[in-house]
Amino acid sequence: MERSQFETSLSVPQAPSERAAHVILFICGFVSVLTTIGIVLILAWESFQFFQVVPLRDFLFDTQWTPLFSEKHFGIAALLSGTLLTTVIAILVALPLGLSAAVFLSEFAHEKVRRVLKPALEVLAGIPTVVYGYFALTFVTPILQKIVPNLSGFNALSPGIVMGVMIVPIIASLSEDAIYSVPRSIREGGWALGSARLATIIRVVIPSAYSGIAASVILGFSRAIGETMIVTIAAGLQPRLTFDPRVPIETMTAYIVQVSMGDTPSGTLEYKTIFAVGMALFLLTLVLNLISFALRRRVMKGSG
Amino acid sequence: MTPLLEDDINLIEDPDLVARSLDERIETAFKAICFLALLLPLMLLAVLFGDVMLDAIPRLSLDFIRNFPSRLPIRAGILPALVGSAWLMVLTAAIAIPLGVGAALYLEEYARPGTLTSIIEINIGNLAGVPSIIYGLLGLELFVRVMQMGRSLLAGAATLALLVLPVVIMSSREALRTVPNPLREAAWGLGADRWQTLRRVILPMSVPGILTGIILSLARAIGETAPLIALGAITYIDYLPDSVRSKFTALPIQIFNWVSRPDPEFHLNAAAGIVVLLALMLSMNGIAIWLRIRLQKRANW
């Protein structure tokens, strides 16, 4: 009854202000779609021009990246290896810390402790990355140089570790949600079979929260790949196809910054390289974000 | 007495119980390890703050805030960067607030479930995960080149506005959702249309929540470096920007410039710049928290 009255009130002719509001607000909402379209078009257009000059084969299989030198090579692998190296180091730091923090927050911490520690942890994700870069270069690297022999002043290890600390809250927060959403009945099943609390957490709860934890790791991976300033400041701006964490390297993001700092005239091949690299970066993070999103959706469905 | 004592001994020797107490000890250890894993990053954060503060002390003075950059680290200050960041914040807010709140209002109050709505929603989620440097490339091509804004404050602010838009939209939607439905229905029942309900009932009630989200995302934007560099913001400027068309520098860019110099004396300037930047961010966060507390008080009416 109520519903039908409401429906009829909707079919009453709308005031002009009502219509205008509807249209204007829709446009605001649509700006975000235009942003995505803009990003895709711009990256695609400039990359297309880039690949008119540089064959895709060279881009994918050349092992050197030297667009700024006289003898030019365009092998993205040299930048990709730097990116993967710092990212893997970051995940190796962030996963154990983040997951343990999530277990503590969801399984052991009292509500009061949780309410203090969780926002405190989130502060880590809000520190500007240029600050982390400073910290990596002037504090962490000198300490690491005393521990790790032959560690260069610019290297992948130090920014990787610092980046790992930065993404701990991402992994902790999403993993905690996943662990939290494991139904109590599953835990009780574990206890009923005589399993201790610890064994239940490790053998039952964490495996049940697997999708959510994987989602958090993949999202952390994507963040680390897209992170720019820490690696620009502390990793060295030297593209190199290597998996040695002690030597200077360059990531995809740092290359874009490096070219942007010089006054590169638009239309040149150098200018186009940053869009080609940007395209690779965009696709990589997009795929990871979509996988992470799909996994999280599975978690939400499972708990609901 | 004796039988009881015997019982106790039996209990202790019961292998099941011994195992259990061992389990308990392992569990306590495990708990401690998890707690340490949580504390370790927080301690690093404290070390970071301490380290930066110590480095910054020799440079922190009024002159540091009043001076222009210089070749001499002792005399170099952050005035143009500070003024540039202030301009950027105001302009970014002016662009991002109407667009973000508008989009949130559309999605919460107007949109009917359908393909278009879900495209917009999924798209906002995806945009939040796009690396900030990509936004810089978007700004470089779209604002600087195609729209002919040059490497100006306006181009920088437009880029930052697009960057923070997803967060502004998501937090504003959350604030709008806290307005109870009966209030909407009461307004409709009194004959108000959607727009009137929005303007007179829903917006006034959700303003503190929306503001909190906006301030938090602006606090994020003030620390963004990569997109502004990609856009071509310059690192050395010897004048103050006087219009939205001016070239500019900003705090994080000035910090980056000082960090990347080989002379460690300049690193102290970077540290002092970081202290100023963090102080700005933390006070913005403080305002947001204060607003949230006020909001919670009001919500318990």
Cβ pair B51:A135 closer than 8 A = yes
pLDDT at A261: 86
How much of chain A exceeds pLDDT 70, in percent?
94
**Which 8-state DSSP code applies to residue B151?**
S
Kindly report the CA angle at A188 between A187 and A189, in degrees rounded to 5? 90
- 3-state helix, strand, coil split of chain A in percent (to 5) is 75, 0, 20
Average pLDDT over residues A174-186: 88
ipTM: 0.91
Cβ pair A100:B38 closer than 8 A = yes
Write the pLDDT tens digit of every residue in A194-230. 777 788 888 888 888 999 999 999 999 999 999 999 9
Out of B20, B195, B235, closest to residue A21 by CB: B195
Q: State the Rg of chain B over Cα.
A: 27
pLDDT at B238: 76
Q: Tell me the average pLDDT of chain A.
A: 89
A236 forms beta bridges with A249
A37 vs B contacts (CB less than 8 Å): none
Sign of CA dihedral B171, A131, B224, B251: positive
Q: Which amino acid is at B28?
A: T
DSSP-assigned states of every residue in B164-189: HHHHHHHHHHHHHHTS-HHHHHHHHH
Best interface-test mutation with B: which of A8, A9, A31 has the largest number of B CBs within 10 A? Answer: A31
**CA-based nearest residue in chain B for residue A20:** B195
A130 vs B contacts (CB less than 8 Å): 223, 225, 252, 255-256, 259, 274
pLDDT at B5: 53
Taking 90 as the threshold, does the pLDDT of residue B75 lie above it? no
Best interface-test mutation with B: which of A27, A99, A104 has the largest number of B CBs within 10 A? Answer: A104
Higher pLDDT, B99 or B11: B99
